[in-house]
């Protein structure tokens, strides 16, 4: 993942003071904190004001932007490790094919911007998003979260990623690639990597939104998943994410060596133990249960599966939280609404997670899943300055982060991307969104 300055928007030093710092490490909050960011976008100090380096009164320091946080809470930029940015909320994969490609591109760029404005500075797209969007963000063509993308999902015929009509018409619009043998699974990995994928995604089970299967159905065989993992290792040691809802497929995915279990709705103690032994992440995507069910907009088969699984999902994920599973934040945005990603924190807390732990899940732990924890995920010296300033106290009411209106300032790579209240001094916030 490239962490580069966008050429149209050079950085200048940044000083944030009078903040309540929740740094993403799980350490207690620091009141009256100062965070200093240098001209390369790197945090040089984060801690109590009483220990902060003195301000430089030289002419060079005149370029420093200052933010009086007014006692607001300052956090790391958040992650969403499971999104589908190229699809509108509630849209069937085939719906995109009905739109002019130019409209798809513009709508996707809008969703990326909305996601960034919600406080998500890094996202992982798990099927449907061309690698060109990653490059567009890296090079400053568009503004949005920095991206990792799987490009397509690998599924078997009739499985979760097979969205062909009975007559064979393919509605996937490039979202999926089908593989029905171990050799085909290896070839599928090579195809998605050729398309620019940062990681590989497989379907280890059926799913909710697919018409031909159920969450308890198994997807790729364990040996096919193992072949995918091996092929991904051979080509840059790429991670493998597994769509896995029913427990049999979850176990197949874990034994096959995947990096993360996506959804995990049916996870039981055997799978929790095995995932823990192998240091595998769980990305519960609770937004699909709490905010992703709408009888008026969903096909009946989708609605029936969702309602049947919603209670079971909450029970099992609550148990995984209680057991200490390594949980990262993901929403499956598109199944649920875009631009309110941090509502997922509230759902984790509702199922028993401490608010501080939920924040860590959405920052440091998610950075670990994406392999960028040495650069991102916490507000500590030496890390890249991805920062979120919010109204309210998320440790007392985690729900404040779920309302993008409470996310008053977003900094990404040391660049102010959003500044609702005009907190940044002077005119240096040319990129920051204001009302």
User: What's the mean per-residue pLDDT of the chain?
Assistant: 91
Q: Does residue 371 register a pLDDT over 70?
A: yes
For residue 67, the cross-strand partners are 16, 424
Can you state the percent helix, strand and coil of the chain, rounding each to 5?
35, 20, 45
Answer yes or no: do 265 and 388 share one domain. no
Answer yes or no: do 43 and 119 share one domain. no
Which residue would you say has higher pLDDT here, 301 or 3?
301
CA–CA distance, 34 with 434 (Å, rounded to integer): 24
Confirm whether 2 is domain-assigned.
no
Range(s) of the domain holding residue 41: 14-77+378-419
Answer yes or no: do 63 and 127 share one domain. no
pTM: 0.94
For the chain, percent of residues with pLDDT exceeding 90:
78
Of 265, 246, 264, 162, the residue nearest 211 (C-alpha): 162
Average pLDDT value for residue range 78-104? 83
Q: pLDDT band at 100, cuts 50/70/90? A: confident
**Given this model, what pLDDT does residue 75 score?**
99
Q: Does residue 215 register a pLDDT over 80?
A: yes
Average pLDDT value for residue range 220-232? 98
Answer yes or no: do 287 and 410 share one domain. no
Last residue of a domain, one of 338, 369, 400: 369
CATH number at residue 410: 2.30.40.10
**Given this model, what pLDDT does residue 238 score?**
98
Q: pLDDT band at 295, cuts 50/70/90? A: confident
Answer yes or no: do 291 and 206 share one domain. yes
The residues near 265 (Cβ < 8 Å, ≥ 6 apart) are: 215, 245, 246, 284, 309, 312, 313, 316, 317
Confirm whether 363 is domain-assigned.
yes
Answer yes or no: do 171 and 65 share one domain. no
Residue 20 near residue 73 (C-beta atoms within 8 A): yes
Q: pLDDT band at 175, cuts 50/70/90? A: confident
Which residue would you say has higher pLDDT here, 275 or 99?
275
Confirm whether 250 is domain-assigned.
yes
Q: How many CB atoms lie within 10 A of CB 222?
A: 18
Answer yes or no: do 238 and 353 share one domain. yes
Residue 151 near residue 202 (C-beta atoms within 8 A): no
Confirm whether 398 is domain-assigned.
yes
Where b means 16+ CB within 10 Å and e means fewer, 114-151 reads: bbbbbbbbbbbbbbbbbbebbebbeeeebbbbbbbbbb
Predicted confidence (pLDDT) per residue in 317-349, tens digit: 999 999 999 999 999 999 999 999 999 999 999
Average pLDDT value for residue range 275-304? 91
Answer yes or no: do 54 and 125 share one domain. no
Answer yes or no: do 259 and 399 share one domain. no
Predicted confidence (pLDDT) per residue in 389-417, tens digit: 999 999 999 999 999 999 999 999 999 99
Q: pLDDT band at 299, cuts 50/70/90? A: confident
CATH number at residue 160: 3.20.20.140
**Given this model, what pLDDT does residue 211 score?**
79
* Number of domains making up the chain: 2
Answer yes or no: do 354 and 414 share one domain. no
User: Which of 37-46, 137-146, 362-371, 418-427 is predicted least confidently?
Assistant: 418-427
């Amino acid at each position: 993942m490239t962490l580069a300055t966008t050429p149209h928007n050079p950085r200048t030093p940044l000083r944030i003071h009078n903040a309540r710092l929740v740094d993403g490490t799980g350490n207690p909050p620091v009141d009256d904190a100062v965070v200093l960011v240098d001209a390369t976008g790197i945090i040089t100090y984060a801690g109590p004001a009483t220990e902060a380096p003195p301000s430089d009164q030289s002419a060079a320091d005149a370029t420093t932007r200052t933010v009086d946080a007014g006692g607001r809470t300052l956090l790391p930029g958040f992650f969403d490790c499971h999104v589908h940015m190229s699809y509108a909320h509630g849209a069937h994969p085939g719906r995109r094919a009905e739109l002019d490609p130019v409209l798809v591109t513009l709508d996707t760029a809008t969703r990326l911007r909305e996601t960034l404005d919600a406080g998500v500075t890094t996202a992982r797209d798990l099927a449907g998003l061309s690698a060109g969007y990653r490059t567009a963000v890296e090079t400053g063509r568009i503004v949005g979260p920095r991206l990792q993308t799987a490009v397509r999902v690998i599924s078997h015929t009739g499985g979760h990623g097979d969205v062909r009509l009975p007559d064979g018409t393919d509605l996937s619009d490039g979202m999926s690639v089908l593989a029905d043998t171990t050799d085909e699974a290896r070839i599928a990995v090579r195809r998605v990597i050729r398309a620019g994928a940062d990681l590989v995604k497989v379907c280890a089970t059926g799913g909710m939104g697919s018409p031909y299967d159920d969450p308890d159905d198994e997807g790729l065989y364990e040996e096919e998943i193992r072949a995918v993992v091996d092929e991904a290792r051979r080509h840059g040691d790429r991670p493998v994410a597994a769509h896995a809802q029913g427990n049999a497929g979850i176990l197949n995915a874990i034994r096959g060596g995947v990096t993360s279990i996506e959804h995990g709705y049916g996870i039981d103690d055997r799978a929790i133990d095995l995932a823990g032994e192998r240091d595998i992440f769980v990305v519960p995507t609770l937004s699909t249960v709490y905010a992703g069910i709408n009888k008026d907009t969903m096909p009946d088969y989708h609605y029936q599966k969702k309602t049947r699984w919603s209670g079971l999902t909450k029970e099992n994920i609550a148990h995984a939280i209680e057991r200490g599973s390594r949980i990262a934040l993901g929403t499956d945005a598109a199944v649920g609404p875009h631009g309110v990603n941090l509502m997922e924190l509230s759902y984790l807390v509702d199922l028993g997670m401490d608010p501080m732990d939920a924040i860590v899940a959405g920052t440091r732990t998610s950075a670990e899943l994406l392999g960028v924890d040495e650069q991102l995920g916490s507000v500590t010296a030496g890390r890249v300055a991805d920062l979120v300033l919010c109204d309210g106290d998320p440790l007392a009411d985690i729900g404040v982060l779920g309302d993008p209106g409470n996310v008053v300032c977003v900094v990404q790579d040391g660049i102010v991307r959003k500044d609702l209240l005009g907190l940044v001094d002077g005119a240096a916030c040319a990129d920051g969104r204001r009302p």
